[in-house]
Amino acid sequence: MLFYSPGACSLASHIALEESGRPYRAVETLLSKNQHQTPEFLAINPRGRVPALVVDGNVITENTAILTWIASAFPEAGLLPENLVERMRCIAQMAWFSNTPHIFQRAKFRPYRFVDREEVYDDIRAKAASSYWESMQEIDALIGDNRWMMGDAYTVVDPYALVFYGWGTSNGLPMQDLVSFTRHKTQMLERPAVATVIERERNPHFPRQ
Ligand SMILES: N[C@@H](CCC(=O)N[C@@H](CS)C(=O)NCC(=O)O)C(=O)O
């Protein structure tokens, strides 16, 4: 059972579950309605964050862990390389998503988590926006001529990358100028699992054309 909010980073885990081809339940937990702060949800994830995945009564949080779990639990879906070094490179990339562009996004939208003085919120937002853009350029360069984020093979890193493309577009960044990342986004949207999840979430960052 996956707890997600439309448009949140939980999109990555949601897509990976759909890609696994295994049955699962997706539970909408609207951040906009503070459904991540209810006692029921805090009993699942006391940090009050999505995604959270419940497996046989055990809770797994953090996209990096959930995505690694999905790929490990359903190896037949081929969502992470078997080679250990290549697998760790994928995990390192996901850790960077979580500790770098995601943090800039958080600083832009929740500056109060970083400083108390409201007078400096705008400075934080501006710096976070330019640093976010640098991260987007870095992702674009990493994809380069690769078919997917990590090379020829599609992995759970790909839906995680898509989260940042969507946020970049909604933040008004010129994402279309990033040729490799834009090609990656187009390939992603062509995948049936991705289309299914975006439709189910009515994901605000990827509106219907
Ligand atoms: N590193 C965590 C980040 C989780 C996270 O911050 N999720 C956001 C949505 S993108 C959230 O639940 N925010 C609610 C809040 O910050 O109060 C992960 O990758 O799972």
Per-residue pLDDT tens for 125-166? 999 999 999 999 999 999 999 999 999 999 999 999 999 999
What is the predicted pLDDT for the residue at 99? 98
Residue 209 belongs to some domain of the structure: no
Residue 199 belongs to some domain of the structure: no
**What is the Cα–Cα distance from 151 to 148, expressed in whole angstroms?**
5
Q: Ligand 1: distance of its center to the CA of 137 in Å? A: 23
Q: Report, as an integer, the average pLDDT of 116-123.
A: 97
What is the predicted pLDDT for the residue at 104? 98
Q: Ligand 1: distance of its center to the CA of 89 in Å? A: 23
Judge if 90 and 7 occupy the same domain.
no
Q: Ligand 1: distance of its center to the CA of 145 in Å? A: 31
Domain boundary among 76, 101, 121: 76
What is the predicted pLDDT for the residue at 208? 78
Residue 161 belongs to some domain of the structure: yes
| Ligand 1, atom 15: closest residue by C-alpha | 49
Judge if 21 and 106 occupy the same domain.
no
What is the predicted pLDDT for the residue at 91? 98
Q: Is the pLDDT of residue 204 over 80?
A: yes
Domain interval for residue 27:
2-76
**Tens digits of per-residue pLDDT, 2-19?**
999 999 999 999 999 999
**What is the Cα–Cα distance from 156 to 168, expressed in whole angstroms?**
20
Residue 63 Cβ < 6 Å to ligand 1: yes
Residue 30 belongs to some domain of the structure: yes
Task: Say how many domains are in the chain.
Answer: 2
Judge if 122 and 167 occupy the same domain.
yes
Residue 98 Cβ < 6 Å to ligand 1: yes
Judge if 35 and 113 occupy the same domain.
no
Ligand 1 atom closest to 105 (CA): 10
Mean pLDDT across the chain: 97
Judge if 109 and 128 occupy the same domain.
yes
Judge if 129 and 98 occupy the same domain.
yes
Residue 206 belongs to some domain of the structure: no
What is the predicted pLDDT for the residue at 51? 98
Q: Ligand 1: distance of its center to the CA of 5 in Å? A: 10
| Ligand 1, atom 3: closest residue by C-alpha | 62
In percent, the amount of the chain with pLDDT more than 70 equals 100
CATH no. for residue 165?
A: 1.20.1050.10
DSSP notation for 99-142? HTHHHHHHHHH-GGGT-S-GGGHHHHHHHHHHHHHHHHHHHHHH
Judge if 51 and 84 occupy the same domain.
no
Q: Are 166 and 7 in contact (CB under 8 A)?
A: yes
Q: Which of 50, 108, 163 to mutate to test the pocket of ligand 1 (most atoms within 8 A of CB)?
A: 50
**Tens digits of per-residue pLDDT, 73-108?**
999 999 999 999 999 999 999 999 999 999 999 999
Residue 41 belongs to some domain of the structure: yes
Residue 53 Cβ < 6 Å to ligand 1: no
Q: Ligand 1: distance of its center to the CA of 141 in Å? A: 26
Q: Is the entire prediction scored with pTM above 0.95? A: yes
Specify burial of residue 7 (Cβ count, 10 A radius: 0-12, 13-18, 19+).
Answer: buried
